[in-house]
Structure 1
Amino acid sequence: MTVIETTRARLKQRIVDVLAEDLSAVREELSRQFRSPSMFVQDVAEHVSRFQGKQIRPILLLLSARVSGIGQYERRRAAVLAAVVEMIHAATLVHDDVIDDSDLRRHVSTVHRRWNTETSVLFGDYLFSRAFHLAATTGDAEACRLIGRATNRTCEGELNQIGARLEQSVSERDYFRVVQGKTAQLFSVSCRLGARAGGASERLQSQLSLFGGRLGIAFQIADDVLDLTETQESTGKDSANDLANHRMTLPILRALRLGSAEERERIRGLLFSADASDQRVLRESGLLQRGIESAQQSCERFAERAVRCLRQFPDSEERRLLELVAGYSAHRSE
């Protein structure tokens, strides 16, 4: 086991130790929400439950609640809200796999491969509706509004990404607009919901929301780097998926910026080629490697900016864990 892998394992264990009771409550709530009297729906739900990985959004919500001084009574509501954001995330994964025509998700066949596209679309919708209903049971209208707005912006981010691909042209500004929608919103709302459940002031809620948003951007950049540098065996999902879908991610945009006019034209030709061998050539090019390095540097800067948002909170185990989560998220590619 490498030093980085050891550090990750220790971080995971520390989070489990601090949040054991709360995470158990989240898992119990998710288990209840994934039950159905329909055998078919239950089968799909059990299959999708295997997609659950790091559960970073529930963890961010719970740590944000803790760092805000949540009491025992409110912790139950925080666990319910954590289950809500995880269900919304699961719904987006099911839909994303259809959009990307992916075969695998965390080493498990995607829903549309296991069954069909109709099942994927409808089950994603089913998860969204279950999540919104569960949020409503908290009786917190503002929390429901925040969740609804974040979900809307997440979907808008996905639509903007499709639009950019159809135009075959995107700027870094467009890229960050997409990322702020499709990824950063759920990170941001998770932290704000936790802070709200913990009784934080509006100012501190905004700081944690900003922390989550910046962390979400770092997380997505790291994900885009991983798509180009890691294998299917290590990530558990289709590798080079962004290339296969002709997606202008930050590493590619940086490669275009760093290259000559001739190199930029060649990169674009390889990216939008339908030939898989052209995509392999692009993935192995020296210019793309420079783009990956530049994107990774930006990823680390966003993580550092996220951590600065936590300075207004007193030193605590929970704050240190949030800082470590930010650092880990920026270095997943190492």
Structure 2
Amino acid sequence: MIQLVAADLHHVNSVILDRMQSDVSLIPELAGHLIAGGGKRMRPMLTLACARLLDYGGARHHKLAAAVEFIHTATLLHDDVVDGSGLRRGRRTANIIWGNPASVLVGDFLFSRSFELMVEDGSLKVLRILSRASNVIAEGEVNQLTAQRRVETTEDHYLDIISAKTAALFAAACRIAAVVAERDDAVEQALDSYGRNLGIAFQLIDDAIDYVSDAETMGKGVGDDFRDGKVTLPVILAYARGDEAERLFWRQAMEGSRTSDEDLAEATSLLRRHRAIDDSIARARTYGQRAIDVLGPFPNGSAKAALVEAVEFAISRAY
């Protein structure tokens, strides 16, 4: 995908660098720390690849892909403040370097920039899709916050959370390509479905490898979700399958009274015992296959192959 969209991505990066500038020097300094900090640009690349899939020959998608990246970056800045994170993509987070207030306010600035880019595009439909996605992401983050440390969280509730906080932007990033290419609602819905299923698979893998990867690979602290009391699918499955002693452990861990390295090792042992990590990865494969299946009617070629490979990449991070 990187090779496929390289020329377009160059234009997108130019827009990003231009629009993150401000006379207030802290804004580009802080924003640049995250934007230039090793991110894969996966979401804007999806916009570009979907446009290529539809043989779109214009340039509108450059600004819109930049808007997608600004929305994503703004949510990361806010998330790191909420979570108290110290690492992002293997580097110290902006909130650790510049403090929480600056991170929140620069996140607000990037949200505003994204809406400027949408307005410049001039399509009310694009504005509706991306503004709706921004709203849903915020709802998902609040929903996750209210579910934090509640080990009784159901699988359906968890899927609602990740569908909103992660998959909504994947879906919107893909869908807007159909709008700029002036395709019908069926194509819009197909690309929306591709992005949504890919986004769910992506988050399922993230939540699984939080317990089994390392900080260098993940770019964040190992076991962060565990220590933050985030009730993700591996925990939900292990809790449901465990005996009463194990459930007591999970209740204490998610409530924050058992978060040592030894407790994390115990949690990982329980997850493996009940195949909670393996089954979470298997669910990710199911959603990934749904994303690939949606692409069936589209013509074969480099764009379709890249979109299929993006799904495979998202899932292969678990290995």
Q: Which residue of 2 aligns with 1:203?
A: 186
Q: Measure, in 1, the Cα distance between the counterparts of 2:224 and 2:17.
A: 30
Q: Which residue of 2 aligns with 1:332?
A: 317
Give the letter for the 1:296 counterpart. Answer: I
Q: Measure, in 2, the Cα distance between the counterparts of 1:116 and 1:124.
A: 13
Secondary structure of the structure 2 residue equivalent to 1:306: helix
Give the letter for the 2:48 counterpart. Answer: L
Give the letter for the 2:34 counterpart. Answer: V
| 2:227–2:256 contact (8 Å) kept in structure 1 | no
Secondary structure of the structure 2 residue equivalent to 1:70: coil
Shift of 1:167: 4.4
Q: Measure, in 2, the Cα distance between the counterparts of 1:122 and 1:168.
A: 32
Q: Which residue of 2 aligns with 1:67?
A: 53
| 1:251–1:288 contact (8 Å) kept in structure 2 | no
Q: Which residue of 2 aligns with 1:55?
A: 41
Q: Which residue of 1 aligns with 2:284?
A: 299
Shift of 1:29: 0.5
| 1:57–1:85 contact (8 Å) kept in structure 2 | yes
Could you report, residue by residue, the CA deviation over 1:231-287 in whole angstroms, capped at 9, with x for unpaired residues? 112222122111111011011111122223432233222332334325323333144
Which residues of structure 2 form unaligned runs of 5+?
none
Q: Which residue of 1 aligns with 2:28?
A: 42
Q: Which residue of 2 aligns with 1:241?
A: 224
Determine what percentage of the aligned residue pairs are the same residue.
33
CA 16–165 in structure 1, closer or farther in 2 if over 3 Å, else same: closer
| 1:306–1:326 contact (8 Å) kept in structure 2 | yes
Give the letter for the 2:42 counterpart. Answer: I
| 1:66–1:198 contact (8 Å) kept in structure 2 | no
| 1:211–1:306 contact (8 Å) kept in structure 2 | yes
1:129 to 95, 104, 112: 112
Map 1:107-122 → 2, pairs under 5 A:
107-122=90-105
Shift of 1:40: 2.1
Secondary structure of the structure 1 residue equivalent to 2:4: helix
More helix per residue: 1 or 2?
A: 1
Shift of 1:52: 4.6
| 1:69–1:199 contact (8 Å) kept in structure 2 | no
CA 274–50 in structure 1, closer or farther in 2 if over 3 Å, else same: farther
Map 1:92-107 → 2, pairs under 5 A:
92-107=75-90
Q: Measure, in 1, the Cα distance between the counterparts of 2:185 and 2:271.
A: 45
Q: Which residue of 2 aligns with 1:149?
A: 132
Q: Measure, in 2, the Cα distance between the counterparts of 1:112 and 1:99.
A: 10
CA 266–283 in structure 1, closer or farther in 2 if over 3 Å, else same: closer
Give the letter for the 2:313 counterpart. Answer: Y
Number of aligned positions between the proteins = 317
